[in-house]
Amino acid sequence: MSDDLKLLSEHRCFGGVQRFYEHASREIGLPMRFSVFLPPQAEGGTVPGLMYLAGLTCNEETFMTKAGAQRLAADLGMALIAPDTSPRGANVAGESASWDFGVGAGFYLDATEAPWASHWRMESYLVKELLPLLAARLPIDITRLGLFGHSMGGHGALTLALRHPGVFKSVSALAPICAPTQCPWGEKAFTGYLGADRSRWIEHDATQLMQHQPVAPYPAGILIDQGLADKFLAEQLHPDLFEAACAGLGQPLTLRRHAGYDHGYYFIQSFMADHLRHHEAALTDIIVR
C-alpha cells in the first residue's frame, strides 16, 4: 500500500472539505492523483463512498469542478471519490497522439499489450490499490461503496461493477459506452491495450458481461441517463444493446432517454442529484439490513 499520500490542496466546501491527493502507485508504477470530497458527517466517523469515473480527456479534477455534486453529497453524508483517467508521465511513444487513446483514455482496464501493459493498469489500480488506500487513510467505509461514471467512465462503471459485484454495492452511468466491442472508441482502445484477439475484449464489454451473468447482479436496479441530442449516441454508445442484455437476464434497469440533452457536463449536472440519491438508497439499505 502506498504510504506517501500527499495532500496537494484542500478547500472548504458545503461544510465538508474538497481535497486533491497524489501518491506513488505500485500498480501503475507512476504517481497518480485523485480527488475526494468528504461531507461534514465524516468528522464524526466513516461515511459511505461514491466513486466517479470520468470520460475521455478528463482527469481527477473534472467531476469535482463541473458536476455540482458536493452540495447534495454533503446533505446525504456521502463521500465522493474521483480518480484520474489514466497514467501520466510514462513517456510511452504515441501516448498523447490521440485524444481517445493513451493519456486521458485508460478505459479502466489492465492492458496486456506492449508498451501499455507496464503502466496502463487502471482496473488493478482502482480495485486493488486505491480502495484499500481510501479505507486505511480516510474516513470512508468501502464496504458501502457505489460506482458511477460518464462516457468512457460509464463504461468503466458498468464493467467494473459487473466484474467486482462484491466490491461495488450500487452502480449507475451517464451516457456510457455500453458495447465497446461494437464501436470505434472501443475497437481502437481494445486493439491497442488488449490485442487483436477479440475474444479477450468481451471481458471488458458491459453488454457482453451482462449476458453472461448467472443471475441479476444488482437486484436493486441500475440507473442510466442518456441524452438524445448526444452526438456520440448512434455510433459509440449503444445503450439499447445493454438494455436488451438486462432484459434478457431480468436485471432491473432504469434507462432514461432525454430529448435535447447532449454529452457534456450540463447534461451531467441536470441529473446528478438523481444518481446520488440512487446510490444513497442502496448504500443506506446496507446499513438498515
**Active site residues per annotation:** 151, 230, 263
What's the burial of 115, exposed, middle or buried (CB within 10 Å: 0-12/13-18/19+)?
middle
Q: Is 65 helix (H, G, I), strand (E, B) or coil?
A: helix
User: Which of 288, 235, 289, 225 has its CA nearest to residue 262?
Assistant: 225
What's the burial of 219, exposed, middle or buried (CB within 10 Å: 0-12/13-18/19+)?
exposed
Query: Do the beta carbons of residue 86 and residue 123 sit within 8 Å?
Result: no
> DSSP class of residue 198?
G
- CB neighbours of residue 51 within 10 Å: 28
- Distance between CA atoms of residues 268 and 275, nearest Å: 10
- Distance between CA atoms of residues 244 and 95, nearest Å: 35
Query: Measuring CA to CA, how many Å separate 129 from each of 26, 37, 68, 104, 126?
Result: 8, 19, 27, 19, 6
> DSSP class of residue 127?
I
